[in-house]
Structure 1
């Protein structure tokens, strides 16, 4: 209902009507409630300026109070005074809260629930964006694929809770070792992807080694308090002008399997 709307129900024809003015409703209803008169006296403003004028002799109006006259077949049965303290301000706050909540939901849709890092959907979007920027700016773009070594054995022997803990620990170890501007997310299962915009192969190799060593220095606690060593195999690929999402990730994935074949816990290109 609009702030200035007033309605009266016609009991004879089952219609909802809008009176032509509050003056008409007041005349039909006779005496005005003391609460409404008091509201006018203390300066509370009514939703219809003609009623406010009728009660207070003033033409001043503001939309924080709605006065509804309840009438059936032209007979006034009662009056409803709705106070909306600071209505517009509260509505603005509500809208701001909703906008913020929508931002939060949009972010959550791009976050991996288990590890708290970006999920595959977001990483795929970022690869497309960064590939386009690399071609446009003639800048390098490197990708690291990291996969937890012997992860299936951890799950089978220690249980899925310890396996989940291992993934969270790995994600934390990698995240704190990255530079501002690097993009990191979970690709799926025990595999993670790091996007390194503006980074050539030599520097990307050094970053891969740093990430590998950070993970190796972060053992995972078992349920009985043992410290379980954890390592990753890392594959490196550098984008060229013909790469698309699928080809770039496939090359990083192939490099990661070369690292595993060479003995795990290493970086391969």
Structure 2
């Protein structure tokens, strides 16, 4: 279950079928067939190149941080693998992988076992800002068995990965989540996005508004939107209203924590990056 071929197979299945078919010039229709074709004809190195070149199509958590100092060239990563470290368009781009282990109790063997996954991570360093993009791993280990097993945990979370990255940059480096509330409110004010769900602070309480079906808050409840314009935002889900085909239909965001969650396949390879850059540019 955990030989290299199995782990690479699970990695490839994180990507949309259209990405596999187009990138590797395949003609199959079923994901299992496409993955088998890739495993039979490509090396581990070629598969990792695909994984990072097509990263934009993944479900991902994106974290935006302010740095207290520019990063040095030193990057001593423990508990992960540095696949590449390059300068691209004025940014330092580090492509990393981490092994995520999902543990479970297997009644067939009467023992606790692990299932390994390769988690691709991209770190973008630009002056005093870092953007860390982590493939979301929400796996049901029962999907990999013909009998029921009982999940018991996983070895690392996003916070562990970010901690290892921060340590790799040296003890004097600190990461402070970037508050992107201003950038989000700018896109909202200019009708690029509208909320499907919002959680915001009032003077003495926290309020949530969850919209039905395809309705959005500013369009349906302009009075509530007016209240929110001067309030801190907590957890929110937004729908993109303009150029939807080039972006993402929906995304979740915690503006004050600089965290964005992309839980659907983006429509284009650079959709998530463009969205993040729009928020940063207008923050």
Question: What is the TM-score of this pair, normalised by structure 1?
Answer: 0.24
More strand by share: 2
Q: Which has the higher contact order (CA 8 A, sep 6+)?
A: 2
Question: What is the TM-score of this pair, normalised by structure 2?
Answer: 0.23
